[in-house]
Structure 1
Amino acid sequence: MDKETPAASAAQPLTTDTVFGAPCWVSLMARDLGAAQDFYGHVLGWTFRKGRLGDEFSVALSDGVPVAGIGALARTLRMAVAWTPYFAVGDADATAARIRERSGTVAVGPLALAGGRGVLAADRDGAVFGIWEGQLYSGWDVWHKDAPAWLRLRTRNAFDAAIFYGEVLEWASERPGCCEVDYEDDEVVLRSGGHVVARLSSGAVEAAVDPTIRPHWQVYFPVPDVEHGARAAVGHGGAEVSRETTPYGPEVTLRDPDGGLFTLTSDVPRR
């Protein structure tokens, strides 16, 4: 996560203490920042600006609005290239403790960074996610409502996963403003402020060789033309992994040149 982006306005800073439990950012751990910028610039039309953490971090912009972070961290941390969602929390230390208490793993943090504190963790089935305590950038309401990215957890058992994340992130709690959890068509649906922000689906296999089948958080990017985006990805060194036809249009899962998985979906409201 580029911790520079959650920078709220000085007048009314929006923080994770009042907006909690919901996805608040997505970030790519890349090996080569320039190569990742070139690829996603061609596929998604993003432009980039430098992040506050140095030359190895950047903020992706869509029509001037921050939508994601890219950091050249995979080589340094010896981790696979992957898109990672971050969830807003009021207290990173307390949330990290809840992750450990429920048999999850805290891999990095809490780390003090510009504007707040971050943690990189994994749930008990191995799906990697992050948490963020602190300021949210001034355009977060737009990010939250207009869905520059939405999420699906591919997990072994969606119900069990919902219990884990619900306890860790205080979903469906009595706190005002918490995320709402519903069960629809064998999936767990997460809503924040009335907006669908994530879905949890069963069926992942922990021991699977194919990373698309193992438990993981899948990041979806809505685009006006899925086929055009898929051709651009393949033309710039990516690979098509799978495709699906949904009632809302096609979805194509792709692998960037370094192996990072993401899905292009039709430019429609989140279902």
Structure 2
Amino acid sequence: MGGGEASARVRCVAAVPCWVSLMAQDLEGAQEFYGPLLGWEFDPAPERLGPYVHAVAGGEAVAGLGTVESGAIPFAWTAYFGTESADAAADAVRERGATLAVGPLAFDAGRVAFAADPAGAVFGIWEGPLGRARRLEVPGAPVWIELRTPDPFAAALFYGEVFRWDGRDPERFDVRWEHDRVVLRAEGHSVAALAKEESGAPTGLPPHWEVSFAVPDADLALTRAVGLGGAALGAAFDSPYGRVARLRDREGARFAVISAKE
């Protein structure tokens, strides 16, 4: 098991993705896969839509894993945007022609909703105790969240309106164009990006938020994931943010691992 108090340090950060979770059909099997792959331990957490645990790395809760019987929430990794008001964000989603699938619902951590943007990428909305953005420099932590979509500029307009990117303190939050991406920065850290899906990407991949976890060696993690029953979505490659391997777990949930540039 993990550190016991890790969940108390989970904090919502307004306007940016600040938490990730996986809904799995087999929660025990997911722990058997991700535990050795990413060096995670697991702490029990309050049930939400079903059994739920926190993945712990370096004494920090870095992700949630749960299971749910309802098909309303996809069996996939989901990135959650923090917000001061889940109701206001949910209303903004509907007003802009996107889909609000579930919620907002009240949980132990606050209020949560699930939505899909106009291109179909699923994301979460989380209203909880607000904290400051910080980058966890530990293996196993989610260090890069990136939207893969046909039109990142249209997507940036949508998310900017839903989460009120304009008008926030520019000393703490800004949006910029770099490395052919729309990049979100909070408290001096690049925390997420919106990018056009490359022409050479795996076929059949719809628009989605890709969660990348830190590992010491992306090539080794790719080999290990396959050995644990997962699959590689192509060879590892170099990116502006490090060496990346895109993977699929035992149940088909897609994610990525990234090792820092030397």
Q: Classify the TM-score, shorter chain.
A: 0.7 to 0.9
Quote the residue 1:228 is aligned against. Answer: 220
Specify which of 94, 105, 108 is matched with residue 102 of structure 2.
108
Q: Is 2:28 aligned against 1:34?
A: yes
8 Å contact kept, 2:98–2:117: yes
Deviations 1:157-179 (A, max 9, x none): 11111110000011132457763
Question: In structure 1, what is the Cα distance between the partners aligned to 2:198 and 2:73?
Answer: 21
Specify which of 68, 76, 80 is matched with residue 82 of structure 1.
76
Comparing 174-183 with 57-66, which one deviates more in the overlay? 174-183
Tell me: CA distance 1:186–1:257, structure 2 relative to 1, closer, same or farther (3 Å): same
- TM-score w.r.t. the length of structure 2 is 0.86
8 Å contact kept, 1:222–1:264: yes
Quote the residue 1:255 is aligned against. Answer: 248
Quote the residue 1:57 is aligned against. Answer: 52
Question: In structure 2, what is the Cα distance between the partners aligned to 1:97 and 1:178?
Answer: 25
Q: Is 2:128 aligned against 1:134?
A: yes
Question: In structure 2, what is the Cα distance between the partners aligned to 1:80 and 1:60?
Answer: 19
How far is 1:6 from its partner?
A: 6.3
Number of aligned residue pairs? 250
Question: In structure 1, what is the Cα distance between the partners aligned to 2:187 and 2:178?
Answer: 18
Q: Is 2:229 aligned against 1:237?
A: yes
8 Å contact kept, 1:120–1:129: yes
Question: In structure 2, what is the Cα distance between the partners aligned to 1:91 and 1:63?
Answer: 31
- Secondary structure of the 1:135 match is coil
Question: In structure 2, what is the Cα distance between the partners aligned to 1:178 and 1:162?
Answer: 18
In structure 1, the gaps of 5 or more residues are none
Q: Is 2:157 aligned against 1:163?
A: yes
How far is 1:82 from its partner?
A: 0.9
Question: In structure 1, what is the Cα distance between the partners aligned to 2:95 and 2:156?
Answer: 16
- TM-score w.r.t. the length of structure 1 is 0.84
Identity of aligned residues (%): 44
How far is 1:104 from its partner?
A: 1.1
Deviations 1:202-251 (A, max 9, x none): 2479xx9612xx21000001111212211211011000012322355421
Tell me: CA distance 1:68–1:180, structure 2 relative to 1, closer, same or farther (3 Å): same
Specify which of 115, 119, 125 is matched with residue 119 of structure 2.
125
Question: In structure 2, what is the Cα distance between the partners aligned to 1:177 and 1:36?
Answer: 39
Quote the residue 2:258 is aligned against. Answer: 265
Tell me: CA distance 1:217–1:163, structure 2 relative to 1, closer, same or farther (3 Å): same
Letter in structure 2 aligned against 1:111: L
How far is 1:24 from its partner?
A: 1.4
Quote the residue 2:135 is aligned against. Answer: 145
In structure 2, the gaps of 5 or more residues are none
Q: Is 2:35 aligned against 1:45?
A: no
- RMSD, aligned α-carbons: 2.6
